[in-house]
Chains A and B, each alone.
Chain A
Amino acid sequence: MSDATKEAVLRTEKLTRAYSMGGNIVTALREADLTVHAGEFIALMGASGSGKSTLLNLIGLLDRATAGEYWLEGKPVSSLRRDELADLRGKRIGFIFQNFNLLPRLSAWENVALPLAYRQGEFRGQDQLDRAREALARVQLDHRLDHNPTELSGGERQRVAIARALVTQPAVILADEPTGNLDSKTGIEIMRLLKELNEEGRTIIVVTHDMNVARHASRIYQMRDGVLKESEFADVAH
C-alpha cells in the first residue's frame, strides 16, 4: 500500500500561528501544509526560533492556530473548546519532552498511568497499574515500577516518559528533542527504542537538531523562519 492511499493520521492546511508582541505581529508559523500517515517517522529540523516548537505545540493540541486548519484523524480541531482539546490530547497524543517532565512525587508507574487517571471512570486503579506495567515492560523498566524519578538515571527517566506516551495507544507520539538532555550513548539507546516503536507501527514526529536522530526518519521536514519545507536527508546533512 502506498502512502497516498493510507488514511492520514494528521493533516494541516495553511496552518498559521501569529503572536502579538509589543504591538508587532510576529508570525511564528506561516501556512504550513503537513500530512502524516500512520506508521511514519517524521523528523522536524531547524534552528532554534525557526518555529518548529510552534508547529509541534499546534499538532499536540497545546496551542491554537490563528489561521488555517488542522485535522487529527480526520477531525477538524480549530473549533474545539479548551476541555475538548484536553480530552483529545490525553487520548490521542503522546508527548516526550527533552527534560522528561516526570512528576517528582509520583512513582514510575504512577507517572505512566497519569494520562489514564484523567480519563474519568474508564480505568480503575488496578487497570491503571496493569496498563502502566505493560507500557513499562515495553521500555524494559517493569522492574522499576515503584521507583521515584529521582531514583532513576536520565535514560531510565526518558524511558518512563516514553512509556507514559505509549500507555494510551495514541494516534501520534510527539518527541521534542528527546535526546537533548542525555549523553550520546544513552541518546542512541533512546533513538533505537523510538525506531523500534516506529517499526511496530507507531507514528512518531521528532523535533531535533541531531543529524543522527534525523537519520532514522522516513521523511524530514525543515523549518526556516516559520516556513515548513520537506527535505532530503542529503540536503540537511550539508
Chain B
Amino acid sequence: MSLTDLLRTALRSVSANKLRAALTMLGVIIGVASVIAMLALGNGARAAVNATFQSLGANQIQIGQRFAMEDGKFQPTGKTLTVTDGLDMLSAIPLVERVEMSVSKAVKARFGKNTVEISAIGMTADAIEGLVSSGDIQPVGWESGVPFSTEDLFSDGRFFSTDEVYAGAPVCVLGHQTALDLFSGDNPIGETIWVDRTRCTVVGVITELESTDVQERYRSDPNEGLLMPISAVIQTLYEDEPSVYMVVHVTDANRIDEAREQIANYLRERHQIEQDADGNYLDDFDMLTRNDILGQQQEAARTFSLLLAAMATVSLVVGGIGIMNVMLVSVTERTREIGVRLAVGAKQKDIVSQFLLESILISASGGLAGIVLGILAIPLAAALNQGVALLYPGSIPLAFGVAVLIGIVFGLYPAIRASQLDPIEALRYE
C-alpha cells in the first residue's frame, strides 16, 4: 500500500476514536514537555554564564590566593601569590601566552592642595586589554555592543608600557573624575602627584566611563581611581608583598585543562605545597575557568533537571505502554478488518505498516502537543528553579524524535501481532 493510502487509513482510524487517542497521548505529552523544559533549564544556565562571565574568555584562567575561615575571620592561606610568580610563569610554561595581574590598595592622592581618597590599582600593561575586552565598561555615550580600542579609552596621554611595568616606573594613569578632582580642569599630563608617600608622574587620563550594566552604575564609579604599574604599587605602597590576582591567557583554548594542570604544578613547586594523607594537594591558590563557572551554574540547574528527566522517562514509558495497550485493543477490535485486508491481498508488511503508522501518528501528535506545552511551561520551570530557562532549539527535533521512537517501539508488538493473524480466523471473528 502506498504511504498516502496508509496515512489516510491511520488518520481515519485515529480520528474515529478522538477521545481515546487524546487520552493515550497524555503520557507522551507530559514526557515530551518535560524534555523541553529540562533542556531549557540547562540551556538557560549556559546562557546566563555566557552573559555574566563574558569577561572570562574561553582561554583564560583566573588565579587568586586561597582564602579560608581562620580564627573566625576570612583570611588568606599559605604563601602570597606574587608578581614574580606570574612573570616567571610566562617563561616556565609555553602554553601561557600572557599573564594579566592586578592589585588594589586604598590610597590618598594629592596634587597641590587637592586630596582624594581612592583605590590605586596596580596592573600589568596587558591588563588594560582585559578591561577593554571585558565589556563591563564603555566610554560614556558609546553605542553599546560596538567594540572600542585601547585608544578610545584615553582622553589624554597614554597607558604605561610593559618596560615600565618591569622597571617599576613611578608613572600613573588617572580616572576621569580623579583627574578633575586633583587638577580642577588643568592638564595633568607630565605633572607629578603624591600617592601616599610616593611621587608619581601622570602619563594619561582615561575618558569618562560608564558601566554597561545599568544597575552597576549606581554601585561603583569607574571614573574614580588611578592605575599604576603593578611593580611600582608593590614596591612603594606596601610594606609586605601583597597577593595579586592573575588572569592567565592560554595560547590554545582547547588545551586549557593541560595548562591549568601545568600551572598548578608550577605553583605547587614554588610554594612547596604538601599533600594530605589522601594525596590531595593543600593548595594555597584557587583557579577558575569558564568551565568551572559553567559547572557551578549547571550544578544548580542539575537537581531540577534530574527531577524532570525522571518525570520525562516515567511519562514516556507509561505513555508508550498506554499506546501499546490501545493498539492491542485496536487490533482486537479490528480483527475482522484485518481478515478482509488479508483476503484482498494485504501482505504482512502492509498490516505492520498500517498499525505502526497509527501508533506513530498517536505518539507524534502527542509529541507536537508536548512541545507546545513544554514551551509554555518554560517560565514556570524557571520560576520553580529560581533560575533562568531558555528554549533550547535542538530540543524540539529531539523531543519529536523521541515521541516518534516511542510510537515505533511500543507500536511494533501490536502491529506484528496484527500481521500474524490467521486470515480465516480473522474473517470469522465476531
Query: A62-B423, A62-B424, A90-B346 are contacts. A117–B337 as well, Cβ < 8 Å?
Result: no
Looking at chain B's contact residues, the main secondary structure is helix
Contact A118 B341 (CB under 8 A): yes
A 70-89 to B, binary, CB cutoff 8 A, 1 in contact else 0: 00000000000011001101
Chain A interface category by residue count: 20 to 34
B106 within 8 A of A: no
Q: Write out the residue numbers on chain A whose beta carbons fall within 8 Å of the beta carbon of B337.
A: 103
- State the Cβ distance, B114 to closest chain A Cβ, in Å: 93
Chain A residue, CB-CB nearest to B419? A82
A164 within 8 A of B: yes
Query: A62-B424, A117-B2 are contacts. A105–B16 as well, Cβ < 8 Å?
Result: yes
Query: A101-B336, A117-B2 are contacts. A90–B344 as well, Cβ < 8 Å?
Result: yes
Q: Write out the residue numbers on chain A whose beta carbons fall within 8 Å of the beta carbon of B12.
A: 105
A61 vs B342: C-alpha distance when bound (angstroms): 11
A115 within 8 A of B: yes
A14 within 8 A of B: no
Contact A60 B350 (CB under 8 A): no
Contact B427 A119 (CB under 8 A): no
Chain B residue, CB-CB nearest to A164? B344
Contact B345 A87 (CB under 8 A): yes
B184 within 8 A of A: no
A57 vs B16: C-alpha distance when bound (angstroms): 32
Contact B423 A95 (CB under 8 A): no
Query: A103-B337, A118-B1 are contacts. A95–B424 as well, Cβ < 8 Å?
Result: no
A145 within 8 A of B: no
A97 vs B343: C-alpha distance when bound (angstroms): 11
A91 within 8 A of B: yes
A87 vs B2: C-alpha distance when bound (angstroms): 15
Contact A115 B348 (CB under 8 A): no
User: Which residue of A83, A97, A105 contacts B347 across the interface (Cβ within 8 Å)?
Assistant: A83
Contact A86 B427 (CB under 8 A): no
Contact A114 B427 (CB under 8 A): no
Chain B residue, CB-CB nearest to A128? B5
- State the Cβ distance, A42 to closest chain B Cβ, in Å: 20
- State the Cβ distance, A181 to closest chain B Cβ, in Å: 14
Q: Write out the residue numbers on chain B whose beta carbons fall within 8 Å of the beta carbon of A118.
A: 1, 341, 344-347, 350
A114 vs B339: C-alpha distance when bound (angstroms): 13
Chain B interface category by residue count: 20 to 34
A103 vs B338: C-alpha distance when bound (angstroms): 10
B54 within 8 A of A: no
B144 within 8 A of A: no
B340 within 8 A of A: yes
Contact A91 B345 (CB under 8 A): yes
Interface residues of A in 95-120 (CB under 8 A from B): 95, 97, 101-103, 105, 114-115, 117-120
A158 vs B5: C-alpha distance when bound (angstroms): 24
Contact A83 B348 (CB under 8 A): yes
Contact A89 B343 (CB under 8 A): yes
- State the Cβ distance, B345 to closest chain A Cβ, in Å: 2
User: Which residue of B2, B339, B346, B424 contacts A86 across the interface (Cβ within 8 Å)?
Assistant: B346
Q: Write out the residue numbers on chain B whose beta carbons fall within 8 Å of the beta carbon of A117.
A: 1-2, 5
Query: A105-B12, A117-B5, A118-B1 are contacts. A60–B343 as well, Cβ < 8 Å?
Result: yes
B 318-336 to A, binary, CB cutoff 8 A, 1 in contact else 0: 0000000000000000001
Query: A117-B5, A118-B1 are contacts. A62–B343 as well, Cβ < 8 Å?
Result: yes
Chain A residue, CB-CB nearest to B428? A53
Q: Write out the residue numbers on chain A whose beta carbons fall within 8 Å of the beta carbon of B424.
A: 57, 62-63
Query: A62-B423, A101-B427 are contacts. A114–B347 as well, Cβ < 8 Å?
Result: no
A95 vs B344: C-alpha distance when bound (angstroms): 8
B13 within 8 A of A: yes
Chain B residue, CB-CB nearest to A124? B2
A119 vs B5: C-alpha distance when bound (angstroms): 12
Query: A89-B343, A103-B337, A118-B341 are contacts. A82–B427 as well, Cβ < 8 Å?
Result: no
A200 vs B88: C-alpha distance when bound (angstroms): 106
Q: Write out the residue numbers on chain B whose beta carbons fall within 8 Å of the beta carbon of A121.
A: 2
Contact A115 B16 (CB under 8 A): no
Q: Write out the residue numbers on chain A whose beta carbons fall within 8 Å of the beta carbon of B339.
A: 101
Interface centre among B343, B348, B349, B423 (most CB of A within 10 A): B343
A101 vs B344: C-alpha distance when bound (angstroms): 11
A97 vs B423: C-alpha distance when bound (angstroms): 13
Chain A residue, CB-CB nearest to B430? A99
Query: A83-B348, A97-B427, A105-B13 are contacts. A120–B1 as well, Cβ < 8 Å?
Result: yes
A62 vs B344: C-alpha distance when bound (angstroms): 10
Q: Write out the residue numbers on chain B whose beta carbons fall within 8 Å of the beta carbon of A97.
A: 427
What are some 10 contacts across the A-B interface (CB < 8 A)? A62-B343, A83-B348, A86-B342, A89-B344, A114-B341, A114-B344, A117-B1, A118-B1, A118-B345, A118-B350
Chain B interface (Cβ within 8 Å of chain A)? 1-2, 4-5, 12-13, 16, 336-337, 339-350, 423-424, 427
Chain A interface (Cβ within 8 Å of chain B)? 57, 60, 62-63, 82-83, 86-87, 89-91, 95, 97, 101-103, 105, 114-115, 117-121, 125, 164
Additional A-B contact list (6), CB under 8 Å, known A86-B348, A87-B347, A118-B346: A62-B342, A82-B348, A105-B13, A117-B5, A118-B344, A119-B345
